[in-house]
Structure formats: C-alpha cells, structure tokens
Amino acid sequence: MSDIKNIIFRNQRLRSSEVLRNLTSETKLSKDYLIFPIFIKAGNNIKIEIKSMPDIYQLSIDNALKEISSAIDVGIKSFILFGIPDNKDEIGSSAFANDGIIQLALREIKKHFPDILVITDLCMCEYTSHGHCGVIKNENLDNDATLKLLNKQALSLASNGADMIAPSGMIDGVVESLRYCFDDNGFKNLPILSYSAKYASSFYGPFREAAESEPGFGDRKKYQMNPANKKEAIKEVLQDISEGADIVMIKPALSYLDVINELKNKIHIPIAAYSVSGEYSMIKAASKMGWIDEKSAMNELLLSIKRAGADMIITYFAKDFAKNNK
C-alpha cells in the first residue's frame, strides 16, 4: 500500500470545482463564433416548421426579420441566408434577379439591422428546376458555364448588401472567378467564405427538405468530395487560398474533425465548419426520445468542432446555445 502515497500526478486536482475546471479549460466556446442559418421563402406571413429539423423554419421576409431580431437579442450577430424562390428554371435565373428572394431579403435585413454580418450562400441548387448546382448538359454539370452564372448571382447579391459571399457548389475555379469579378466591379473588399472541402455526405437530408433542393436526378458525387479523402480536402483548401479565399470551410463538421484539425496546423487563414442539418436533427431526435440530454449534447458537439480547430461554426443551434450561455 505504500506505493499509493507516492502518486505524483493527480489529474483530478484541477477538476475539483467548476471554477477550477473553467479556469483550466483549453477550449473556449462563445456565441461570437457562431453563424445562424436562415431559410427565406418567397411570400408573406410564412412560417413553416421543417419536419426533419424541429424549431427551424422556412420564413418569409417579414418573419425572417423577427427571427433575426430574436437571435440578435440573445447575442447572435452573424447569419447566413438560403433562398427558396417561388419559381425555378433550368438555369436558376431567380438566383441573380434583382427582385429575387435573397436580394429582397438583403435590402430589408440591412435596412433594419445594419450592424450585423449577413453572409449569402452562393449556389444554384435552390433555384434550378433540376436541383443541381449549376448548368446541366447531358446530365452532367457544366463547370465553366456555371461559373458565369455564379458571377452574375454574386454581383447581384453584393449589389444588394451582402457582407460576405459563400460559394458552396464545389465548382472548380469559383474563388478565382469571383475574386476577379468582385475586383473588376467595385467590390475589392468583399470577403469570400469558400466551401472548400464539401463532402458528398449523407447528413444533408434535412437541409434539402428545408431548402427544397433535392436533385431531380442522380446525386452530387461528381462535384462534391469523396468522404474517404483527406489529402484531397487539403488540396482543395490550398487551391482556394491561392485563388483568394478569405475564409475556408469544411462541411460537414462532426464526421470530418480530423480534416479540420489537420488544416489548423497547415494554414493561416480562418477555418469555418458547417455543423450540418443531419448533426442537428440527430441530437433533436434522440433528445425527443429521452435518450440524451439536448443541451449537453449540443454543447459537446460545438465544443468538439471548436477544439478540432474551427474558428467559426455555422450551426442551427446558434440561438439555443446563446440562450443557454448568456
């Protein structure tokens, strides 16, 4: 028994109280690092709960303003917008129309809340009749033709007040194309948040219900990344940085923490992580069944993403986290 008194390293010493645990915490999570997604639907007085995403809604602009205001009240200052138009066509023309749903929303949001950060998703999938992320020819995505449309969409969003543009379609060369487009049209200081490593994930299902963006045929594996690949993610990120990305993103977050961590040790610009709809819905569903504690699981999820190296997190839990961590 004499060996027991010779234990030198007693790790429990620094876990003995909440104050001490907080003092020695290696990772700090704050609502300042969170970005709240908003789904904006054409129409008026619309508030439709997304069945697979409890407490998340499709909102018309009037109700989106109320949702943003309630998020601001608990300390959320950054938002990303996704549009659900009232009509779709082969090239997603409502994505770059001056009276498009996000263009109208931007003008109203910036008028009412000029000091918040409003990021706009840049993709065609919500706007095309076929549900794919660009121009389709012979059932394949035409990368270069899509770049031209994305430039039009991006300029329209920038002109209507977007604070940051987030290309999400994994279209080759999109960051360079946008950077030249912005620089040539008076938007040299507009930042680009690139979905640099977006995996062809099974965790997007609830989002596709929310954004009404399910592909009409096939899938997106030809332009989104293979979940098996890490080196490819690093290559994609480095390429986007060389093209002028200001922030790079890994999507999804939870299944790709190793990718986030590896990049944290390799690059020197901010890393965003998208905690996607499937991650949110799993916790909500398990909590509803009484299998896990929602608040604890939410905190652990977000903390793990931050610990892996993310500088900011897009999350449907943003408002809930802020309410619970005032």
Among candidate residues 256, 122, 146, the one with its CA nearest the CA of residue 201:
256
Among 41, 251, 284, 306, the active-site one is 251
Among 198, 284, 306, 319, the active-site one is 198
CA 251 – CA 199 distance, rounded (Å): 6
**Contact criterion met (CB below 8 Å) for 118 and 106:** yes
HEC string of 142-184 equals CHHHHHHHHHHHHHHHHHCCCCEEEECCCCCCHHHHHHHHHHH
Three-state DSSP class for residue 132:
coil
Alpha helices in the chain (DSSP H): 18-23, 61-73, 101-112, 143-159, 174-184, 205-211, 231-243, 257-264, 277-288, 294-308, 318-324
The yes-or-no answer on residue 198 being catalytic is yes
Bond preceding residue 85 cis, omega within 30 of 0: no
Positions marked catalytic: 198, 251
